[in-house]
Structure 1
Amino acid sequence: MFSKKEKRVIIISSFILVVLFSLLLTNPFATHIAKAQITTGYSSPVGINVDGGAMFSNGTSTTYSFVTNGLKGVFVFDGGNFYSGAPVDENAFSVQLNSNLLLSNFQDYFIKEETIVNYNSTTGTYGVCIIDEIFNATTDKASISPNLISGNGGVTVRNGISFYRFEYITKYKTSVPFNITLWYFTSLNSRKYPTITFYFQFSNSTYISPHIKLDNVTISITSSSANIQIGGIVYPYVAQFVVGGAYDGATLEVYSWRAYMKMYYLYNGNWYVPPSATTLPPKLYSGAISNESVSGNYGMAEEWINSNASVLQIQGVLSQENLWTIFASAKLVGTTVIFYVIPNGARWIGEVTQNGRQTSISITNGSSVQVEPGSVSYFLKLYAGTSLVYTSSGTLQVVGGPVIINSPVPFTVNGTEYSPGEYTFNAPVTVVFQNVYYESNNVRDLLKGVIYDGVLENENTFTIYYGPAYLTAIYYTQYYVTFQFTVTGFVNGVQETLTSGWYNASTVIYIPSQIISVNSTVRYITLPINIVITEPMSVTIPYNVEYYVTVTHEVPALINGQNVTLTSGWFNKSSTILIYKVYYINSSSRELVNASQYLIVVNSPLYITTNIIGYQDLVGIYWPNSTITYAWYNVSQEIKLPTYIYINSTARYLRISNATVTVKEPTIIIPKYIIQYFVTVRYPNGTEISGWHNSSSIIVVPKIIYINSTARYVLNSSAIYVTKGPENISPSYLIQYLVSVELPNSTTFNYWVLRGSSISVPKIVNVSPTTIAILVGKNVFTIYYPQVIKPKYEYKYLVTVYLPNGQIIKEFITNGSSITYPSIIYISKGARYVIIGKNSTLITSPTILVPKYQLQYYLTIFLPNGTTIEGWYNNGSVIYLPKTISITSYERYVLSSPTSVVVNSSTTIVPKYILEYYVDIRYTNGTTISGWYSKGSEITLYAKAPFYYRVDWNGTFMLANGAKVLVTQPIFENEVLTLRIYLISTGIIGIVAIILAALFVNSLLSKPRKGGSAPPTPPSVGGETKS
């Protein structure tokens, strides 16, 4: 058992370990411990510090944390008197936009974009330069490797720490006031490397720079995220937009100063003011903050201006304060809900609910929304990114106030009727205006609408919950107007159908001329009229009467003194119509008309039977003897013309145009005639042919005149004679005989040959596509009479040989001879065909030969023991490989690929064999495990034994129990047991060591405690104060 002092030692030690372990677990990034709390009189960076601590207007507070991928700071400098102490010792200061970038591998990088401003007292101007820096804040005094970071700048060393730095080449020279905007974004590139992109903009009263991309820095460390962390669970991460000494930890003394600062973070593509901020950084923090500061006594005081979301800086004493307290409320002004929020520009979301409908809007200070009378509830939410920081809610009622009503006709309020006039009521009220009010049977007033607070509404009932409200009823007067019939007109310029009914007073009606049908045969044609409605009235519309006259056919007529075609249609009353019996269209065309009456006066609807008997045209005929005759012919009548006109017994005219002409129009007909002559032709066989022939026509005599089936006359003179007049013709002819030639292809050719001439027969005859005949004997014969010629021929046959390599041999072989083909055909170096059987064939007819060949491949097989097998093998044959090849008694090859090979190509085969070694393991209990193992396999040498025995293995290797052995040779191992004699002595030594340790701790606690000072503050690291 332990004494009380020993127990106390154990309890205290355990407590310290638990506390330290808890801190490490809850904040693995908190490697920087801040200095003591900054209070009045101490130096610190001053500006906008966001650490996730929020103070509400009701005095309560909370903490929050969020991440972002962008920060922005706006600095407006109006002027001042200032000085940066050692090591700067100049009239200069810096403005810094700082944050901590956390990666998924728990690394922390301090991002710093700053503006350094120098004052030149000689010129009274300021010099402005822009810088970005990145520090490794993962551990205290950590550095950045040049190989892991790239951008426009490079890695530099300060106070033994390597960090990244880039200074923009352009330095601005300016007078006050001037503005500087700094911002940057963080992201991951395609290789999952974090990137930081820096931008800035400078402006003064005469110049505004574009958005300038300062730098694009890549940290070559793979990460799944690249977020700026703000706030935290134990020690918060701080984002800053602050003023401090120029550089290297300098302190800025301020004697006069006026400037404005704004700070934003990026969320979902928009910039927002953070929910909360303090003038100075917190007491404890994670990561890093600015190492430059402002003097406590010669420093700055800050004031939050909510209207433009900015911080005013003036000379003053430093004090750690919240720049604002979070506040949100809503006020009802009439039907407008106005929202008031602090801080303005933050991510405020407002929800307004009324009558079951909810509206969600983004809120800035002074934002408003229109609502309806009744109960309205609102719910305001302040976010930091996606983290909810603060909420405020309430309910508003929209009721009460005066309601002024003016109406020219009676109306009701809350069910009570009031006479025309103006009245004032208190809300809430329900007002009902009459839609129609009758002054008499033919005068009435119609509600046009109600002017409600200056807006014309198309309703007659209003429920008003709040005032002031103004309602003026607008009515218009209507009069009853009658028409003797329905017409179409324009009412105030709009076309309408006009019937008896109500019309607005002062309405202007225009009725244009139009047709009013009484029935199908009587109608009225109205005359135009204009009317202005000023009272109830009856309108009489002037009109003319028309009657419908029906004629069965259109005919020419004289209507009211004008020649027109009479058709069915409408005619004015008293119109006169005269119908012609014969109507001359012109001097060569006329019409014949029949009608039930020819002279008509229209005083009622009429039905007149009319018909055009026919049309006639004047036609002339021009004869071939140059005479012309004229006559009237009905249209479509056919005129027949004579076929022949004889001049004498051997000459006449023949009509060659149509025999009839149909009359279609006035015309002169010129029929076509030609002259013919009488001609006689006499042939050598005594035949004589006579007939009429056209002048200049061609007479063709026959070229052949048959005597019998084997003899004929053939024309020996011209076959063509041109007819020029009457004449007798005797053409000249020669004799031909029929000769037949019979060929061996069973074809007979017949030729007509002149008596005494010769004929030739072919030397080669194609009997068929596969057989030809060769002439034996003469091939020329002289002809003196009809005869049959039979020449002598011998036969050759087409032989086609298909070889297996795709080659085709085609050749004509004489009947009874043989053809020979190759015994071996090589396809390639490793493939060939070998003939099966004899290689020649006797030919007695056309034939196709496909000799049989065997396909063979040349194979080479390499075995692992150096043996080579090679030769020609038939396609499809099977070669069997040896399954085992012994090298020694303890080494062998074992086939691991298929045991046989099917021959289907020429190839070199290297079968896969596995080298195996014989393994023999012998145990002390007499057990033996042996067998073949593949080269490279692993075996474990293990045997169970009582704890007081040690197991070893002797043989091929000297190994401990449980050893793993890679099989690379034959293995023979034996189990060896050795007794453990040191276990008892080892246990005794351990017990003694524990007792001595306890006595040593007790002696430490027995010593008196001495006072001491706190450990010194860790030194600063380039551009950062380590917390």
Structure 2
Amino acid sequence: MQMIKILLLLIFLILLLPVLGTHSSTHVNKFSTVRVVSASPFLINGTISPAGTYVLRFNNTVNITFFKYFYLSNDSRLYLKGEYINNTLTNVTTIVLSAQGGYTTINTYYIKEFYVNVISTYPIPVHGGWYEYGQYVKVKLPYFYQIGLIREVLTQVYANNSRVNPPIRVNGPLTVTFSFSTEYFVNVTCPVYGYINGTLSRVLSNWYPSGTIFNISTVYVSPYVKYITSGNLVGIITLNSPIIINDTQTQLDYVTFLRPVFGYVNGIAETIYSQWFNYSTLINIPAFINNGNYRINTVGNVTGEYRVSGPTIVNDFQYKQYLVKFPFPLEIYISNGTTSRTDSAWIYEGDNVKVLPQIYYLTPLIRYIIQEQTYNSPNIHLNYTTQYYVTVSYPIPAEINGENTTLSSGWFNQSTSIYIYKTYYVTNNTRIVILNSNTYFIPSLQSPTFIQIYYIKEYLVSLQGIYGNSSTVLFTNQIWDSYNATVYVPQVIEHGGILFLLNSTKSTYVVTDPLNITAKYLPIIEPSPKVDYKSNNNSVLVFISGIILATASVSLAFLVKEKRIKRE
């Protein structure tokens, strides 16, 4: 803490010493020194001194005065921008120094200026006068002086008779001359193409130099685009005053047709050739031009509606086509290599259309069988066979178109004749008997048909009775019996007034196939009542016999199950 107090006391004494020294010096007359550097003459206490460097020691007051301008000639001078006093820039012309015992330096800051003389026929925003060395004479370009529809346009600038491009750097005295050219305003009511001084251009409302030559007539802007001109100024015009051009032009474009085509120009049908068309002309080359069963088909780079908007090359081909129609969709092959499924097709003239072998289902129960056939004109008659589906509840023998066959569910040609046998003999000992059917005869099939069949199968049963092991035949009989029926052999028969008894333990048979039954009989001592063996149609054999044996009489009765069936 004591150390800090000592330091603060020392700092205070150091700050106080200059004040004490100054106070004491006011009582002593000292010498001062000034060093002056000037690029132009100046005055020291009213006495002129040439330009140069001076060192002056004095013990009293000194007045130093500098000139604001110092003319080197009529068109060049020095201009005082200020003085550096002890390296500090000031902007005064007179400096008063008192003897303080110090040292002062004064350096003048002069720049060189040159006079610029401006010569212009028309008003221009550039002034003449004094310009600093290195300064630029600036001209805002483009510049023009306008009165109404006439204007003077600054075109060239000269400095000391030499052509220069602004801005102009001032490196010495200058005479700047401005040159103008006259322009007139051309009012174009509608832009047109023309030649301006021989160059193809778009003529627009604008300022044009006096003497400009306009040529506005039929103008070819390219070999395939031209403009036809009409209006108040058509031909060659030399501009010498403001004018109004009230011209209109029609653009025509050359459309090249590599081959003539048929079409419509602005709605009018014609054969179209290469020619000039007005811009926006509507050309319609339909892809198809119909004429009943024939049409013209156009293919190429321009089809349909096209508005002319420039030169165009039309590379279209037109072909004649004929329409082939079918009663239903078919798979077809065209000789140009196209395959499709359709009920109609446009065929190029000279091409053939081949109908491929196929089946077309009109409904699930009606179909058409189509054979391969070829056509080359619109007049066709499709050859096909109509078939109907016949549903049979169970396959059965029938006569189809005069041939014996089995009628099953399947497809049959239209007009097929179908006759269903009521009794059909499969073999000489096997037959089928129709018990019931919704139809037996279809003379000409004209629609899908369902045939409901109820039938039975019958086998021929042949029964022969013989005498013991001999070849003597006591009786023979044949009947047709249904499958799985039971046949009973009579136990007792009468032959020649003699009763015979079946000599076998087997007297019943089940019908599963044709049967040939041989029954052996032996005579009984006394004659027995006559027993008849009868069959009615396809019924089962029924025998009732009575045998009375012993010394008085023996009777035996046989009961035979009878089944009646229908037979033709």
User: Would you call these one fold, judging by a TM-score over 0.5?
Assistant: no
Greater RCO (CA < 8 Å, at least 6 residues apart): 1
- TM-score when scaled to structure 2? 0.44
TM-score by length of 1: 0.27
